[in-house]
Structure 1
Amino acid sequence: MTSHLAEAGRTLVPRKDDRYGLLSPALVILTFVAGLVDALSYLSLGHVFVANVTGNIVFLGFSIAHAEGFVWWTSTLTLAAFTVGAVIGGRIIHHFGENRARHLLVSTCVQTAFVVAALIGIYVLNRFAPEPSMGGTGAALAQAAQSAQAAGADQPSPNFPTANHIDLHVIMLIVLLAPAMGIQNSTARKLSVPDLPTTVLTMTLTGVIADTWAHGHEQSKLGRRAVVMTALAIGALTGAMLQTRGHEDVILMVMIGCLLMVIALMIPHVRSDARWVTGR
């Protein structure tokens, strides 16, 4: 247990000679961001994950089969917007991929710009297209819609758009947040820090169990893997608690704060020749 706690500590506060240096805590922060954005997207944007493409592909199949609660256009739009983000991420890799700190800095700056635009978009739409509103009154509107449904009224909830109820807030958030997560996924893939993919943690959990039974408890990397799984879970919990209270704007603010932390971690090292920066 002590060794696992030490491993978790080194993931969050790496030693100077650590092979991946500050990339590890930075990617843990981005994993927390992924939990936040997936809570927001799934609970507010009509059953989509903007960070996990696998879920969107499955949801697209559900919607084509006319499964209740799943709408094909939200899944399709999310996949298309995520693809745009991956393209942007690929171009960033092309220009900055040789320096890990600079690569993560640039990609996070672009990702932050998308999230800031989403935050501004919420307030603009609330001013000029206030129904349904987000960022402070979303929970109240959802409750009102549920009351209307209980009374027998044929009124879709703003949290679950239908083909006949295309919400500009939903479109705007998908179009801006899905590319941000496409950039994050492409960045994490290029950095290739073990057990820190920032979004899809299926293999991380599998690794804990399989490695324990294959090589013994000490080889499970439980400490490192538990940190990233906990970060995603806490991000999802935080996002869900804020969303159910109608604070979608606060979720975006927390995301921006986390992304600024990553930027602050990378700025001092863009010219460093440390092993974790150069990858050599």
Structure 2
Amino acid sequence: MTSHLVEAKRTLIPRKDDQYGLLSPALVLLTFVAGLVDALSYLAFGHVFVANVTGNIVFLGFAIAHAQGFVWWTSALTLVSFIVGALIGGRIIRRYGDNHAKHLLVSTGMQLAFVVAALLGTYLLNWIASNPSLNGNGAMMIVRGAEPSLNFPTASHIDLHIIMLIMLLAPAMGIQNSTARKLSVPDLPTTVLTMTLTGIVADASAHGHEQSKFGRRIVVMMALAFGALTGALLQAHGHEDIILMVMIVCLLAVIALMLPNIHSDAPWVGER
């Protein structure tokens, strides 16, 4: 048990000579962000995952089969928007991929721009909806009232908040996923943790409990779960804007971790 606690601590507070350095705590923070955004997207956008995006392929099949509660356009829009983010992430990798600190700094900064735009867009749409002189035409009437809370979409209903948030948050998560894939820090993909959970059980069974990397892996799983819990609690009370604010704080924390190290000669900064 002590070794697992030390492993968990070293994931969050790595030693100076750690192979992955500050990448580990930064990716734990981004895993928390993924939990936040998926809580918001699944609960408010009509059964879509913005971070764990592959689930939308299954949801698209459900929607085509007219399963209750699933709308095809939300899954399709999320997939397309995510791909756009992955394309942006690829361009960032091409330019900054040989310096992990700079790569994560730039990609997180781009994510931050998308999330800030989503927050400002939410307030802008709410302001338009609350201003009678601006929402008198039919196109604006589908925007909700002055509260951030969203309408759950149906086949006959489209909420501009949801369209705008998907088109801004899905690219942000596409960038995050492409970045995590390039960094390739073990057990820290930031989104899909199926292999992380499998690794805990399979490695313990095959090699013994001490070889399961339980401490490291449970940290990232708890980050995702706690992010989802936080997002769900905020969304249940209509605080979608606060979810975006918490995401912004987490992204700023990642930027603060990376910024002093872009010219560092630490082993984790350069290509491995």
Per the TM superposition, whether the score is higher than 0.5 is yes
Q: Which residue among 173, 176, 180 is the counterpart of 1:184?
A: 176
Partner of residue 118, structure 1: 118
The C-alpha deviation readout for 1:118-147, integer Å capped at 9, x for no partner, is 0000000001135424755x2xxxxxxxxx
**Aligned residue identity for 1:239:** G
- Is 1:231 aligned to 2:229, yes or no? no
Per the TM alignment, residue 92 of structure 1 is displaced from its structure 2 partner at its CA by: 0.2
Partner of residue 145, structure 1: none
Partners of 2:146 and 2:46 in 1: how far apart? 14
Q: Which residue among 236, 247, 256 is the counterpart of 1:255?
A: 247
8 Å Cα contact 1:134-1:169 kept in structure 2: no
Per the TM alignment, residue 77 of structure 1 is displaced from its structure 2 partner at its CA by: 0.2
- Is 1:216 aligned to 2:228, yes or no? no
Partner of residue 140, structure 2: none
**Superposition RMSD in Å:** 1.0
The C-alpha deviation readout for 1:190-213, integer Å capped at 9, x for no partner, is 000000000000000000000000
Matches within 5 A, 1:9-20: 9-20=9-20
TM-score (norm 1): 0.91
Partners of 1:27 and 1:134 in 2: how far apart? 35
- Is 1:165 aligned to 2:157, yes or no? yes
Per the TM alignment, residue 11 of structure 1 is displaced from its structure 2 partner at its CA by: 0.1
Partners of 2:83 and 2:146 in 1: how far apart? 26
**Aligned residue identity for 1:225:** R
Partners of 1:135 and 1:92 in 2: how far apart? 36
Partners of 1:6 and 1:279 in 2: how far apart? 27
Matches within 5 A, 1:1-280: 1-129=1-129, 131-133=143-145, 136=148, 138=149, 159-280=151-272
Partners of 1:105 and 1:218 in 2: how far apart? 34
Paired residue total: 260
**Aligned residue identity for 1:211:** D
TM-score (norm 2): 0.94
The C-alpha deviation readout for 1:223-275, integer Å capped at 9, x for no partner, is 00000000000000000000000000000000000000000000000011110
Per the TM alignment, residue 38 of structure 1 is displaced from its structure 2 partner at its CA by: 0.2
Partners of 1:171 and 1:134 in 2: how far apart? 17
8 Å Cα contact 2:151-2:159 kept in structure 1: no
Distance 1:135 1:215, change over 3 A: farther
8 Å Cα contact 1:122-1:135 kept in structure 2: no
8 Å Cα contact 2:127-2:146 kept in structure 1: no
Per the TM alignment, residue 159 of structure 1 is displaced from its structure 2 partner at its CA by: 3.6
Q: Which runs of 5+ in 1 are unaligned?
A: 139-157
Per the TM alignment, residue 162 of structure 1 is displaced from its structure 2 partner at its CA by: 1.6
**Aligned residue identity for 2:200:** V
Percent identity between the two aligned chains: 77
Moved segments of 4+, more than 3 Å: 133-136
**Aligned residue identity for 2:144:** P
8 Å Cα contact 1:134-1:246 kept in structure 2: no
8 Å Cα contact 2:129-2:146 kept in structure 1: no
Partners of 2:198 and 2:82 in 1: how far apart? 26
Per the TM alignment, residue 279 of structure 1 is displaced from its structure 2 partner at its CA by: 2.9
Distance 1:55 1:134, change over 3 A: farther
Q: Which runs of 5+ in 2 are unaligned?
A: 131-142
